[in-house]
């Protein structure tokens, strides 16, 4: 063996945690387990209690959305992000889901319901289910989340595990449970949010083993458990089918309810002589193996009616009916998800009334806040994942903007456009609109986010743009918008020609918004001369001060005193639409602002006043754009002096806005073509 391999193996050996291995593989007697319950009562929690505590273990934070205080659960943010599954913009829906788990954990009734995630395709329903399963897996490996099951000792010294990973406390006979529970609850470590309880009975296999072995000990069940049972640490795992189950409907002709509740082991029937011997039965259906944890039903409403009957008993009574055996107790979270058409079919089917009555529906809509939608795509399209290709600024943003617009209901307010509504939802302020208006907007569209374009479509089209231009070192918003539009004709979820035209019109709205954004960026890059801005600001403030105090301004060149420069002041103020009739109010507002800063001992800086900064930048841009001659880029005839100035602007775009050389050139050419058409920003 080479020295390199030896070094590698030794390095790996140093990372092995033998102490952790021993903890995860703990084994002990039934009395030792009772001692563990006294020290850490949480090991005996129900599935809902464990799931709820798992989510809380990652922490929470309070946020405010439209004056409503919401709880944000870090499990769906930080934990999910570590696993590449971050969920954004669904705080309200997730709070409703976790509150349902809390109610179930406290035994208020929702523990007897199927939790149904309902929403359009691609709205993160499967992601939420996947996260809950993964979270439980990891939680079961921690000290806070540990749980235990038991196994029966065979004649040859080996052990046969309870096939449904039952809670060891279920080994206590019914008539002895009250006294044991009273002692455990009285003497257990406090505080503990849940009372220790024993729910349900042993599965048929363990009932058989219990009775058979009890006879050997003449009814001394304590001695029998001490000698015949081993308790072991249970680690939940979907891959190993321990406490985590997933069921996906197949073709109706091939569905078989034994996939949920287990089936005969025909080889063992010959060994034990009866098909009703529990040792000849495989308790390996999804509802069996998910005991103590969670089972996910994918597209649950596509289940055959025979399956739904099993689901009704599993949710309401916490029991399942394996073939040829009595009803068997289970303790698990039943989580299903479905889309709108399937849910409507459930509502319209009178035979499904029992299922509707046993369902808690949680709406999982599409995101309607732009910054959250952008985060969804930035998970997959960023510098660390997209190698060798620069993603120009706003590329992901325009795709997200279009997706959100397709999901929004046009506002009834006559003076509010759909794009303005998007900006309000995104936290921007608009003149004449308050937070109360935003609340009213959401109330008039209660089902907003339940239709529109799926994030999957956007992800597919950004991917197409990345591979469709192999010779380009970057992708830009126009490439992505082209992919979005060209794919619409073949989109399976476009209902009709009217919807196609509407979505295409929204792309034009996004394109227009993008033009405004990049024009503004180029303007700010041109006007980003800090010294020139500071000089212009000082000149403007000197004139405003003289104007408001009815003084004259000292001429820096002649040394004499002149009247305030009205032309200069108006050229700045007009850039932010200050009308002639309101110029005095605005000027006094500026002076009052400066005075208030002085009282607090602070120095005035134009960058602290957003409106004034914008006005100064636009004024400086107007003064400098002609000297730069940006429009000459269109004709490809640029003199050396102009080229040097353009290179300065380009470097500012690269440094301040995240462009690379080629994408900055593309933007300058695009904006230059707009200027050439006389479409300068006003």
Residue 681 has pLDDT above 50, yes or no: no
Q: How distant is the alpha carbon of residue 68 from its chain centre?
A: 20
C-alpha 109/C-alpha 93 separation (Å) is 20
Q: How many CB atoms lie within 10 A of CB 261?
A: 25
Residue 187 has pLDDT above 90, yes or no: yes
pLDDT digits (tens, 9 = 90+) for 616-670: 878 887 776 655 555 555 455 556 776 777 788 888 889 888 999 889 888 888 8
Q: 355 vs 117, 352, 363, CA distance in Å?
A: 14, 5, 17
Reported pTM: 0.84
pLDDT digits (tens, 9 = 90+) for 37-83: 999 999 999 999 999 999 999 999 998 887 788 999 999 999 998 88
First to last CA, the chain: 74
Task: Place 372 in a pLDDT band, splitting at 50, 70 and 90.
Answer: very high
Q: How distant is the alpha carbon of residue 458 from its chain centre?
A: 16
If you write DSSP's letter for every residue of 531-555 in order, what string do you get?
HHHHHHHHHHHHHHHHHHTT--EE-
Q: Where are the domains of the chain?
A: 370-510, 527-627
C-alpha 436/C-alpha 94 separation (Å) is 24
pLDDT digits (tens, 9 = 90+) for 434-445: 777 788 888 888
Q: Does residue 60 sit in helix, strand or coil?
A: strand
Q: Does residue 381 sit in helix, strand or coil?
A: coil
- Percentage of the chain beyond pLDDT 70 is 94
| pLDDT for residue 628 | 58
């Amino acid at each position: 063996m080479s020295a390199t391999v030896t070094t590698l193996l030794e390095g790996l050996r140093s990372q092995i945690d033998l102490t952790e291995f021993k903890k995860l593989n703990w084994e002990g007697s039934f009395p030792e387990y009772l001692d563990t319950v006294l020290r850490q009562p949480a090991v005996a929690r129900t599935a809902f209690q464990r799931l709820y505590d798992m989510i809380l273990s990652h922490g929470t934070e309070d946020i405010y959305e439209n004056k409503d205080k919401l709880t944000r659960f870090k499990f769906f943010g930080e934990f999910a992000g570590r696993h590449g599954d971050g969920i954004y913009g669904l705080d309200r829906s997730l709070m409703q889901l976790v509150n349902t788990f809390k109610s179930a954990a406290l035994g208020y009734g929702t523990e007897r319901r199927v939790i149904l995630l309902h929403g359009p395709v691609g709205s993160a329903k499967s992601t939420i289910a996947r996260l809950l399963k993964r979270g439980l897996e990891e939680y079961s490996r921690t000290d806070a989340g540990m749980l235990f099951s038991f196994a029966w000792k065979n004649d040859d010294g080996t052990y046969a595990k309870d096939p449904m990973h039952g809670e060891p406390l279920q080994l206590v006979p019914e008539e002895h449970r009250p006294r044991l529970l009273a002692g455990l609850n009285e003497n257990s470590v406090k505080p503990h949010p849940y009372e220790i309880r024993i729910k349900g009975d042993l599965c048929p296999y363990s009932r058989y083993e219990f009775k058979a072995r009890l006879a050997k000990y003449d009814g001394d069940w304590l001695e029998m458990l001490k000698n015949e049972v081993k308790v072991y640490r249970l680690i939940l795992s979907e891959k190993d089918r321990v406490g985590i189950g997933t069921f996906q409907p197949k073709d109706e002709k091939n569905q078989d309810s034994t996939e949920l509740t287990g089936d005969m082991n025909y080889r063992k029937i010959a060994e034990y002589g009866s098909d009703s011997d529990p040792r000849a039965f495989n308790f390996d259906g999804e509802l069996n193996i998910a005991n103590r944890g969670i089972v996910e039903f994918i597209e649950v409403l596509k289940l055959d009616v025979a399956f739904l009957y099993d689901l009704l008993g599993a949710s309401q009574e916490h029991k399942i009916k394996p073939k040829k055996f009595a009803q068997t107790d289970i303790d698990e979270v039943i989580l299903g998800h479905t889309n709108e058409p399937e849910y409507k079919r459930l509502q319209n089917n009178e035979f499904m009334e029992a299922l509707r009555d046993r369902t808690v529906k949680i709406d999982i809509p599409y995101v309607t806040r732009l910054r959250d939608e952008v985060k969804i795509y930035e998970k997959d399209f960023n510098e660390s994942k997209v190698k060798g290709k620069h993603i120009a600024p706003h590329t992901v943003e325009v795709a997200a903007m279009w997706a959100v617009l397709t999901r929004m209901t046009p506002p009834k307010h006559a003076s509010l456009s759909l794009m303005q509504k998007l900006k309000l939802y995104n936290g921007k302020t608009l003149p004449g609109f308050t937070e109360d208006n935003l609340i009213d907007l959401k109330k008039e569209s209660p089902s907003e986010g339940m239709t529109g374009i799926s994030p999957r479509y956007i992800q597919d089209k950004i991917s197409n743009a990345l591979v469709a231009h192999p010779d380009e070192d970057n992708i830009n918003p126009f490439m992505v918008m082209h992919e979005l539009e060209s794919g619409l004709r073949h989109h399976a979820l476009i209902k009709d020609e009217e919807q196609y035209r509407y979505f295409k019109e929204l792309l034009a709205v996004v394109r227009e918004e993008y033009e405004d954004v990049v024009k503004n960026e180029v303007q700010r890059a041109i006007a980003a001369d800090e010294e020139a801005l500071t000089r212009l600001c000082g000149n403007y403030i000197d004139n405003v001060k003289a104007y408001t105090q009815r003084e004259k301004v000292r001429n820096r060149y002649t040394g004499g005193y002149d009247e305030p420069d009205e032309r200069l002041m108006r050229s700045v103020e007009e850039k932010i639409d200050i009308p002639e009739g309101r110029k005095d109010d605005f000027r006094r507002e500026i002076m009052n602002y400066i005075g208030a800063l002085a009282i607090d001992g602070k120095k005035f800086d134009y960058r602290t006043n957003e409106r004034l900064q914008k006005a100064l930048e636009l004024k400086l841009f107007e003064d400098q754009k002609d000297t730069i001659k940006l429009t000459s880029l269109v004709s490809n005839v640029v003199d050396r002096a102009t080229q040097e100035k353009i290179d300065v602007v380009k470097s500012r775009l690269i440094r301040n806005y995240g462009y690379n050389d080629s994408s900055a050139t593309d933007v300058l050419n695009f904006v230059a073509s707009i200027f050439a058409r006389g479409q300068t920003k006003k």
